[in-house]
Chains A and B, each alone.
Chain A
Amino acid sequence: MSFLSLGGLGALWQGVAVAAAAGTVGALVIMYFLKLKRVRREVPSTFLWKRSVWDLTANSPFQRLRKNLLLLLQLLILIAALLALGRLALRGGGKTGVAYIVLIDNSASMGATDVSGGRLAAAARQAKKVVGDMGARDQMMVLSFASRPRVVQTLTGDKRALRAAIGRITLTGERTDISGPLKLAAGLARTVSKPKIIVISDGAFPQGDTVAGCPAPVELVTVGQRSKNLGVTAMDVRRSMEDPRFGEIFAKVTNFFDETLSTKVSLEIDGKLADAQDVSIAPGASHAAIFKVRLDAEHTASVSLEPEDDLAGDDTAWCILEPPKDINVIVVGSISPFLRRSIAAGGRFRISEAPHAGATVLAGDGEPVYVCEGTAPDALGRAGYLMFDAVAPSDGFRDEGTIANPIVLDVDDTHPITAYLELDDLFIAKARKMSFPPETKVLVSCNEGPLVALSYVGGARVLTVTFDPMNSRWPLRISYPMFVANAINFLASGGDENSSRMIHTGDVLVIDGSSAAGKVVVTDPAGNRQELSCEGKRTVAYGDTGQCGVYTVEVGDEIRRYVANLTDSAESDITPGKTLAVGSSTVVAKNAALPENREIWRELLLFAFVVLLLEWYIYNRRVYI
């Protein structure tokens, strides 16, 4: 048993209460004897009574107290009430002086309803058990995590504040990234003594980067029971090559359950049902639902499932249907026929030739995109540059040699340019070994360096492919024209990462605010408006994209719509995980429920009340005890 630590004024109050307890008990004893009013009763003779009392007193210690039954009952009431005021708690195995760092998963998969109240509520219960288990000197920090960690409560021993903080954690529609929160927790653990990290999650996440040298023991507590889920795990809109006014919406529906599940896949455009399919998907399999749509005006489309599963957060995905937009593509120098055909296949590109970059400026919407192959432009301007096997004329771009037979190791499948590109086993005879300026994002890398990199230099967006496609088999693969189309579209959009108007929940929405009058207003799917200042900035970052749905952005007079989708197979796979990789070791989830200190002040008060009733009964009924 222990008294709960209240900290600050609470601790002072506890001290005062405990100090007052001894004095109060003593005062009660004294007042009892001073104020005791005995009832007078006549008896034939007192000598038998006196002899009896004498015998009892002589033979029994504490007789003076024992015979005062009512006093003892009053003492019991007082002590019980004082203990209740002191918030006496029964110890359930907690340790003293431990700094708990509790990570609570609030990703989309925690919305699964396979446990009572949902997985997030179950996780909150587990976290509150840890709070109840805290000793008088223990402290706790609470973090929630999904795509990134968020500090919900800084280190404190105030259990009331901790419980309130845990209760404030709400579900997000984001994916889970465990490595970031673990790294943050490990960093925090280095600043406190006797740290202990407790991860409360459903374990439905990729293990991510391991945290080497974690200074604290890590405990994994999992919630969740099964994996009954059917979700939209991928979505895209593709414009028809033949007629840019038409296109297809592609939605990948995956069954993660161990039984076949059926559902209706519905397409709604601007809230009106446009098409529907009934599908039945085998365990672990996926179904590609394809809907043909017109792309001649801007619309908001959504693909919805109606399954009987445990997770609703991944049952709908949204996309923005955009009208075709002409893009000025300037081919610099000579290019290979494959590249030319790929550019021409884009359909809505207005192609012109130029001996060198900047030599020709065409009228049209947006900034032009220069395409070079083997030849670098003279200088970089405010435009997009797609350069194959060329070094951009700017500081930071350096040719450092040649890579023979580079092997593609990593493709950034989250970037609009390289998403859905199949580059596995791509043969490349040789590539340049290049270094890039700091503002560069590597999209495809090989064993010795970048193969495809996106750089921002002033107003220029430079997408560099470090090898000549003609020295590879890439032009013969379908991913080549897709890459060219994606690259030109991306570069023409001003380098907006959200060029497809579609992001994953939790991603940062980068808004071009150059046309805004000092502020950008974002309205999230729930209708909450948020004003963002863009004074002196070209772009504005909006990170509060935890909800799936349509985000409306008002930039000056212009209204843009973006959509955030979960579309993540790792998140939709809600099979409860049982392990967590930390450094070189693996933490196995605890099956048993966490012990909990149980506050018993309510029971003590109830006991005091019962004793009070008993005293009243004895006093009035004169029963014998």
Chain B
Amino acid sequence: MANDASGRQGRTLLRASDAEGELLDDEFLRKIDQLQLVSRKIIAGKIHGERLTRKRGHSVEFADYRQYVSGDDLRLVDWNIYARLEQLFLKLFLEEEELHVHILVDCSASMGFGSPSKLFYAKKVAAALAYIALAEYDRVILGAFTSGAPREMGSLRGKRNILRVLDFLARLDSEGPTGSADAFRSFAVSHRTKGIVVVLSDFMDKGGHEEALKYLLAGSHDVFLIHILSPEELDPKLAGDLTLVDVEDADVAEVTISAPLIRKYKETLAAFVTELKEYCNRRAMTYILAPTTLPFDTLILDYLRRRGVVK
């Protein structure tokens, strides 16, 4: 059933590709069809879904026993135990609920850097994660942020909506400055339901990222940060006397490239990444560095799986 669905969707997806290339293809869809997003937190969905939670509920999955108290539903009493022990115990089952998966894609001008661009890479990751979530009947909320409130499409559920996801992603362009603090504050205000929040960004925010991430933590979401960097940023191939122009705010920096400067830049970038990673670790957020040179399927099938994002 799943294979058939993916096959049909795959043929459709080939027509819904980004300007830089296809976001997903049949082969890759077959590989991720059986994956699902993992949340480490107890998440309360509003309606029943297909995802088991640690919350006790009415699924067929046994969870635990507890002693009967007055008022409990007698249908849940385990009569076999009562026969052996002459004490009333309730049989508890895990609750199956729907999972809210928020995918926030950074669409600032800096994400257009690189070849392929960081935005294209982010789109592909977002499309894959959205597909995984939709396939598990999770509720997917896709948003694109620069500064101010994120531009979102409505919540979607079910694999049939993947085309809408791809259409939304394909229309995203990199422009404007990054203002993640404003964007995440707006997001936190408008989405109070706990869920998974996946942020795809280069985090090149001159306003800093700590304040912005606090808004996500305030909502008790299970937060995953996927830090996308291009090889040109990791190992810049620059030389000579240059005026570096910031693509977001046209800020300039006059530099003369030298070996010590390149070395210092790499040290600064490493410190920036480490700082962000440690910040996330201290606050139970999951940080994943994803250079665009890392093959996309390796990131999804291997890298995210090992980091516990999907299983």
CA distance in complex: A309, B100 (Å)? 112
Nearest opposing residue in chain A for B178, CB measure: A45
CA distance in complex: A624, B263 (Å)? 11
Shortest CB–CB separation between residue A68 and chain B, in angstroms?
Answer: 6
Shortest CB–CB separation between residue B229 and chain A, in angstroms?
Answer: 9
Cβ 8 A contact of A44, one of B113, B259, B267: B113
B264 within 8 A of A: yes
Please tell me if the beta carbons of B245 and A70 are within 8 angstroms of each other in the complex.
no
> In B250-268, which residues have CB < 8 Å from any A CB?
251-262, 264-265, 267-268
Shortest CB–CB separation between residue A37 and chain B, in angstroms?
Answer: 8
Of A51-59, A251-259, A600-608, the stretch lying at the interface with chain B is A51-59
Cβ–Cβ < 8 Å partners of A37 in chain B:
241
Cβ 8 A contact of B204, one of A36, A45, A50: A45
Known: A52-B264, A67-B261, A69-B256. A45 touches B248 (CB 8 A): yes
Shortest CB–CB separation between residue A54 and chain B, in angstroms?
Answer: 9
Cβ–Cβ < 8 Å partners of A41 in chain B:
238, 242-245
Please tell me if the beta carbons of A49 and B256 are within 8 angstroms of each other in the complex.
no
Shortest CB–CB separation between residue A267 and chain B, in angstroms?
Answer: 85
Cβ 8 A contact of A46, one of B252, B269, B272: B252
> In A193-240, which residues have CB < 8 Å from any B CB?
none
Known: A45-B206, A47-B206. A66 touches B255 (CB 8 A): no
Q: Total number of A-B contacts with CB less than 8 angstroms?
A: 105
A619 within 8 A of B: yes
Cβ–Cβ < 8 Å partners of B2 in chain A:
none
Shortest CB–CB separation between residue A552 and chain B, in angstroms?
Answer: 80
Please tell me if the beta carbons of B246 and A45 are within 8 angstroms of each other in the complex.
yes
A19 within 8 A of B: no
Cβ–Cβ < 8 Å partners of A51 in chain B:
268
Nearest opposing residue in chain B for A44, CB measure: B110
A297 within 8 A of B: no
CA distance in complex: A67, B254 (Å)? 11
Nearest opposing residue in chain B for A623, CB measure: B239
B136 within 8 A of A: no
Please tell me if the beta carbons of A619 and B240 are within 8 angstroms of each other in the complex.
yes
Please tell me if the beta carbons of A40 and B242 are within 8 angstroms of each other in the complex.
yes
User: How would you classify the secondary structure of chain A's contact residues: helix, strand, loop or mixed?
Assistant: mixed
> In A67-101, which residues have CB < 8 Å from any B CB?
67-70
Known: A48-B265, A55-B268, A56-B260. A40 touches B255 (CB 8 A): no
Shortest CB–CB separation between residue A75 and chain B, in angstroms?
Answer: 15
CA distance in complex: A305, B269 (Å)? 91
B202 within 8 A of A: yes
Cβ–Cβ < 8 Å partners of A622 in chain B:
238-240, 257
Please tell me if the beta carbons of B241 and A52 are within 8 angstroms of each other in the complex.
no
Cβ–Cβ < 8 Å partners of A44 in chain B:
110-111, 113, 118, 202, 204, 230, 233, 246-248
CA distance in complex: A183, B239 (Å)? 72
Shortest CB–CB separation between residue B200 and chain A, in angstroms?
Answer: 15
Known: A43-B247, A44-B110, A46-B244. A55 touches B239 (CB 8 A): no
CA distance in complex: A444, B39 (Å)? 135
A38 within 8 A of B: yes
Please tell me if the beta carbons of A52 and B258 are within 8 angstroms of each other in the complex.
no
Interface size class of A (residues with CB under 8 A): 20 to 34
A39 within 8 A of B: yes
A42 within 8 A of B: yes
Cβ 8 A contact of B265, one of A36, A49, A625: A49
| Interface 0/1 of A613-625, CB less than 8 Å to B | 0000001011111
CA distance in complex: A40, B204 (Å)? 20
CA distance in complex: A70, B240 (Å)? 9
Please tell me if the beta carbons of B242 and A38 are within 8 angstroms of each other in the complex.
yes
Please tell me if the beta carbons of B268 and A38 are within 8 angstroms of each other in the complex.
no
Please tell me if the beta carbons of B245 and A42 are within 8 angstroms of each other in the complex.
yes
Cβ 8 A contact of A69, one of B113, B245, B254, B258: B258
Cβ–Cβ < 8 Å partners of A52 in chain B:
261, 264-265, 267-268
Nearest opposing residue in chain B for A67, CB measure: B256
Shortest CB–CB separation between residue A330 and chain B, in angstroms?
Answer: 109
> In B186-206, which residues have CB < 8 Å from any A CB?
202, 204, 206
Cβ 8 A contact of A45, one of B110, B242, B255, B261: B110
Cβ 8 A contact of B245, one of A43, A47, A55, A67: A43
Cβ–Cβ < 8 Å partners of B206 in chain A:
45, 47
Shortest CB–CB separation between residue A64 and chain B, in angstroms?
Answer: 9
Please tell me if the beta carbons of B256 and A48 are within 8 angstroms of each other in the complex.
no
Nearest opposing residue in chain A for B247, CB measure: A42
Please tell me if the beta carbons of B251 and A46 are within 8 angstroms of each other in the complex.
yes
Nearest opposing residue in chain B for A621, CB measure: B239
CA distance in complex: A37, B241 (Å)? 8
CA distance in complex: A41, B254 (Å)? 10
Shortest CB–CB separation between residue A477 and chain B, in angstroms?
Answer: 99
Shortest CB–CB separation between residue A35 and chain B, in angstroms?
Answer: 11
Please tell me if the beta carbons of B246 and A43 are within 8 angstroms of each other in the complex.
yes
Q: List 8 A-B contacts (CB under 8 A).
A: A39-B243, A43-B113, A43-B244, A44-B113, A47-B204, A48-B268, A53-B261, A55-B268
Using a CB–CB cutoff of 8 Å, the interface residues on chain B facing chain A are 110-111, 113, 118, 202, 204, 206, 230, 233, 236, 238-248, 251-262, 264-265, 267-269, 272
Using a CB–CB cutoff of 8 Å, the interface residues on chain A facing chain B are 36-53, 55-56, 60, 66-70, 619, 621-625
The 10 tightest CB contacts between A and B, nearest first, are: A622-B239, A44-B110, A45-B204, A67-B256, A52-B264, A44-B113, A46-B253, A38-B243, A46-B246, A52-B265
6 further contact pairs, Cβ within 8 A, besides A41-B242, A43-B245: A37-B241, A40-B242, A44-B118, A52-B261, A53-B261, A622-B239
